[in-house]
Amino acid sequence: MQVSVENVGKLERKLTVKIPADRLENRVSERLAEMGRTVRLKGFRPGKVPSNVIKQRFGAQVRGEVLSDLIGSSLGEAFEQEKLRPVAQPSVDTTGEAEDGHISYTATFEIMPELPEVDVSSIELEKPTAEVTDADVDSMIETLRLQRRSFDPVERASEAGDFVMFDYDAQADDYRFPEEGQERAGSVIGGGTLFEALDEALTGHKAGESFTKDIAFPEDFGNAQLAGKTATVNLSIAKVQAPNLPEIDDAFAKAFGIADGTVETLRKEVRANLDRELKAALAGRLKNQVAEKLAEMHDDIDVPKVMIDGEASGMVRSQLPEGQEPTADMLAAAEPMARKRVIAALLLGEIARREEIKVDHKRVAETLSAIASTYEEPERVVELYSGDPQLMQGLHNRVLEDQVAAWVAENAKTTEKELSFDEVMKPQRG
């Protein structure tokens, strides 16, 4: 096998590989011979299909498969021989035809950049700390009560916390929504589903009342024709229902799967879940801070374009509805942040390699448990991750980066900043 390498950019390489043609042809012949012993074709007894028929029917397919296998295996050998570390699957080009006794192909790819030694001792960090208090547990149990509330019809005027069903139409300049009639909607006043001005308009009215209000719609309202405008809105209250919250008793505890059905055990379970969630959030905030500092310190690193493109695409797609493709402008706008994230990830990985930091499998299990606890059926989430190598690899990478960030914090100029549970969690949840 002959190998030559050409630099076609700072990180882009073009690898030319030549394989003896007989290496390909011998393997094709072997594969066709194997097929001749097992293949079944109409009109022939098993194992008695003539070789020329096998070659005619399957020769092109087998040759393509063998060529693909040879390219894959020889590429690995060539990377090792030339000490190259590609960052993504190479783009391979070949005619597949023999010339001067060789089959040649070219592989174009980007390599990992040379990364500097990172002196973390000069980095200044503010490490957040927090703990779960009894008040935090009380607040979460109140949230659980709200999730289990029912609503009963009332004849009084609506107030905060009530569910209101209403019909409406809105007129802004020459635009009317809907074009004809009214649209029906429903929401809990103050529940955050609607915007504040509409909540205020719906407050203080009984079922059966109709009225008109001028309402200022927020800039980020879903209907672009109403967003940022003041519209004349006709409202008709169809129903007002008051919340009915369950008592915090043994029946309430059992509804959340508490085996002994006691409120005390429920509180312990809630605290354990909050502790896991808080631990993950604190690690995430510290990692984000470390990543930002590392990217700032080494913003001149050459970064593979394929990695930036991939990160930018992931960032944009996570903000789009499922099935919607990002535009070129969206991807271009995301590139600067994507570049910073790639630099940080490369440096975190390099620190892990140089300091021989290995992933803590106990911490992986704890992190997965924290992720699963936010879903109604945690065991299914654990099964999903356990059965998906790609998800598990992502989880391992996340935990390893958390560990590296903790190592950086231990070796940097780090001061602690005490926060409340809500101060840590609310930005994460938002």
Which residue ranges make up each domain of the chain? 2-110, 120-135+259-425, 150-244
Q: Which CATH superfamily is domain 120-135+259-425 in?
A: Trigger factor, C-terminal domain (1.10.3120.10)
DSSP 3-state of 185? strand
What's the rounded Cα separation, in Å, for the pair 408 and 118?
Answer: 10
- pTM, two decimal places: 0.73
For the chain, 430 residues long, give each residue's pLDDT as a single digit of tens. 899 999 998 999 999 999 999 999 999 999 888 888 888 788 787 777 888 888 888 889 999 999 999 999 999 999 999 999 999 899 999 998 989 899 999 999 999 999 998 899 999 999 999 999 999 999 999 999 998 999 999 999 999 999 999 999 999 999 999 999 999 999 999 988 899 999 999 999 999 999 999 999 999 898 999 999 999 999 999 999 999 999 999 999 998 888 888 999 999 999 998 998 899 899 999 999 999 999 999 999 999 999 999 999 999 999 888 888 999 999 999 999 999 999 999 999 999 999 999 999 999 998 898 888 878 788 999 999 999 999 999 999 999 999 999 999 999 999 999 999 999 987 654 3
Could you tell me which residues are beta bridge partners of residue 215?
A: 231
Q: Which residues contact 212 (CB under 8 A, 6 or more apart)?
A: 232, 233, 234, 235
At residue 208, φ and ψ (nearest 5 deg) are: 100, -15
pLDDT at 429: 43
Specify the CATH number of the domain 2-110: 3.30.70.1050
Burial of 8 (0-12, 13-18, 19+ CB in 10 A): exposed
pLDDT at 38: 81
CB 286 within 8 A of CB 405: yes
Q: Which residues contact 53 (CB under 8 A, 6 or more apart)?
A: 41, 44
CATH topology of domain 150-244: Chitinase A; domain 3 (3.10.50)
User: In the structure encoding, which two tokens stand for residue 157, read together?
Assistant: 């005027």
**In terms of DSSP H, where are the helices of 240-373?**
250-254, 263-297, 305-317, 328-354, 361-372
Strands 210-216, 413-418: pairing kind: unpaired
Q: Which residues contact 33 (CB under 8 A, 6 or more apart)?
A: 51
pLDDT at 427: 61
How is residue 219 annotated by DSSP?
A: T
Q: Which residues contact 270 (CB under 8 A, 6 or more apart)?
A: 137, 140, 141, 144
